[in-house]
């Protein structure tokens, strides 16, 4: 039997289990964000996280769990993103999250569940895992933006000679070329800590609007123009704009995830 949700290799899972569109950051991005956040938890909150996760389970090791269970729990599929149209400057929860099953509402819901001392242990653990993942996901600009293209999933692009799509490029393609996780972590973590006080301000909705504006300006705005229907060839100029934004979003996500957990488990 194929145990798709346990497959660590995304590419293999995609071939054997059918392609799963619109995952969040790839495992590397989620792991980086979790490591950055874990380093910014207060000692008391860190101790609670260790207690909830169990011995020898790091936040990074569970950060992609919601992607692994998506197929077996299809109701969670929409929880990973919010489609704010790129021709709209603001988030409108009634328009963009009418059923309450988008990433913003789920983060707010799971904050309450994690904070509630009466939450049973199994639900508390799930709430923690979903928060670790979703605060990461919502910092991928295409998880807050839509151009009637499923957050870029329908936009074909060619990157380093390979066919992919705009969404996947931003989830993992670009980051995969920015360096190995262990090389990126020290600089990203230090930068995140340096700006944490400023970046962790605001609401989850403010953070979504920021990510959405970045998508309008950079992710879609700087995309080379092509004939309608043709695949977009990603240029070095585009990468030079995209890579620093990806880095910034990961650094912000780490600081904000730490704030969310420091508050929910205080």
In angstroms, what is the minimal distance from the CB of 129 to ligand ADE?
A: 19
Q: Which range of residues in 37-45, 150-158, 216-224, 239-247 is near ligand ADE by CB under 6 A?
A: 150-158
15 burial type by CB count under 10 A (0-12 exposed, 13-18 middle, 19+ buried): exposed
Q: Which residue has the tokens 């969040």?
A: 24
Mask: binding to ligand ADE, 11-40, rule CB under 6 A, as x and -? -----------x------------------
Give the nearer residue to ligand ADE in terms of CB position, either 143 or 252.
143
Give the nearer residue to Zn ion in terms of CB position, either 50 or 85.
85
Q: Which range of residues in 22-30, 110-118, 205-213, 216-224 is near Zn ion by CB under 5 A?
A: 22-30
Q: Which residue is nearest to ligand ADE (CB)?
A: 151
3-class secondary structure per residue, 107-144? HHHHHHHHHCCCCCHHHHHHHHHHHHHHHHHCCCHHHC
The verdict on 150 binding ligand ADE (CB under 6 A) reads yes
The verdict on 146 binding ligand ADE (CB under 6 A) reads yes
E strand or H helix at 238: helix 236-264
| Count of alpha carbons within 13 angstroms of residue 219, beta-carbon side | 32
3-state secondary structure of 26: coil
The verdict on 80 binding Zn ion (CB under 5 A) reads yes
Give the nearer residue to ligand ADE in terms of CB position, either 146 or 239.
146
The verdict on 143 binding ligand ADE (CB under 6 A) reads yes
In angstroms, what is the minimal distance from the CB of 123 to ligand ADE?
A: 25
Distance CA 168, CA 171 (A): 5
Q: Which two tokens stand for residue 173?
A: 């393609």
CA nearest 53: which of 260, 265, 266?
265
In angstroms, what is the minimal distance from the CB of 138 to ligand ADE?
A: 10
Q: At what angle do helices 236-264 and 27-38 cross, to 10 degrees?
A: 40
In angstroms, what is the minimal distance from the CB of 146 to ligand ADE?
A: 5
The verdict on 142 binding ligand ADE (CB under 6 A) reads yes
The verdict on 238 binding ligand ADE (CB under 6 A) reads no
Single out the residue of 4, 10, 13, 24 in contact with Zn ion (rule: CB under 5 A): 24
Q: Which residue has the tokens 């972590």?
A: 185
Q: How far is CA 262 from the centre of its chain?
A: 19
Single out the residue of 141, 151, 173, 254 in contact with ligand ADE (rule: CB under 6 A): 151
Distance CA 159, CA 161 (A): 5
Q: Which range of residues in 51-59, 165-173, 194-202, 242-250 is near Zn ion by CB under 5 A?
A: 165-173
Q: Which residue has the tokens 């919601």?
A: 66
3-state secondary structure of 4: helix
The verdict on 67 binding ligand ADE (CB under 6 A) reads no
Residues near Zn ion (CB under 5 A): 22-24, 80, 137, 171
């Amino acid at each position: 039997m194929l145990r798709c949700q346990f497959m660590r290799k995304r590419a293999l899972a995609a071939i054997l289990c059918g392609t799963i569109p619109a995952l969040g950051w790839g495992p590397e991005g989620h792991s980086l964000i979790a490591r950055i956040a874990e380093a910014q938890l207060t000692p008391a909150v860190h101790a609670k996280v260790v207690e909830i996760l169990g011995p020898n389970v790091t936040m990074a090791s569970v950060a992609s769990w919601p992607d692994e269970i998506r197929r077996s729990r299809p109701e969670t599929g929409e929880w990973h993103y919010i489609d704010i149209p790129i021709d709209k400057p603001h988030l409108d929860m009634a328009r963009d999250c009418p059923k309450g099953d988008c990433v913003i509402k789920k983060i707010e819901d799971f904050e309450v569940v994690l904070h509630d001392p009466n939450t049973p242990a199994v639900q508390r653990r799930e709430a923690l895992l979903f928060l670790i993942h979703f605060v990461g996901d919502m910092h991928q600009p295409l998880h807050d933006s839509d151009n009637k293209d499923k957050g870029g999933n329908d936009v074909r692009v060619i990157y380093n000679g390979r066919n992919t799509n705009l969404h996947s490029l931003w989830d993992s393609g670009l980051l995969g070329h920015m360096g190995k996780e262990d090389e990126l972590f020290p600089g990203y973590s230090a930068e995140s800590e340096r700006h944490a006080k400023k970046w962790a301000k605001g609401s989850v909705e403010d953070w979504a609007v920021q990510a959405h504006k970045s998508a309008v300006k950079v992710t879609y705005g700087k995309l080379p123009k092509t004939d309608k229907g043709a695949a977009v060839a990603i240029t070095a100029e585009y990468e030079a704009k995209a890579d620093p934004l990806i880095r910034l979003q990961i650094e912000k996500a780490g600081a904000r995830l730490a704030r969310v957990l420091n508050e929910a488990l205080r």
